[in-house]
Amino acid sequence: MDIRTLLAAIAFSFAISPTPLSAQEPVGLHIQSLTSAEYDAVVAGSRQSGEVEVIYACIPAGIIVFGTQGTDRTYSALRDQVMTVLAPIIPAVRVSQENTTLQVAEAACETARGE
């Protein structure tokens, strides 16, 4: 199974889930053709923001998972802040949102590294 199929299946499972996302759930993104330099810039931007942090990343899979730095935020507020951090670094057309858990992101990374 390729990474896009896996991520599509994950997104679909969350779309049909009756449980809404809570404020403590991370924002997972898939970034097409993510480079190490872009990742470093995203980490620096998130640190500068003081409101979001990278809690997991896998450059080969193009996955970055963000969380909050101890603030109580809604999922949509966290997503908006993440997109604000990404905007000057990565074109929006390369970013797709993946509603994912840390464990699923790690599994997707393992799959990408195995290819």
| CATH number for position 11 | 3.30.70.100
For the chain, what is the domain count? Answer: 1
Please give the residue range of the domain that contains residue 15: 3-114
What distance in Å separates the CA atoms of residue 57 and residue 35, rounded to the nearest whole number? 11
Residue 42 or residue 103, greater confidence: 42
- For the chain, percent of residues with pLDDT exceeding 90: 46
Q: Give pLDDT, residue 17.
A: 38
Say if residues 30 and 63 touch (Cβ distance below 8 Å): yes
Residue whose C-alpha is closest to residue 53's, from 4, 102, 104, 115: 102
The answer, yes or no, to whether residue 55 has pLDDT greater than 80, is yes
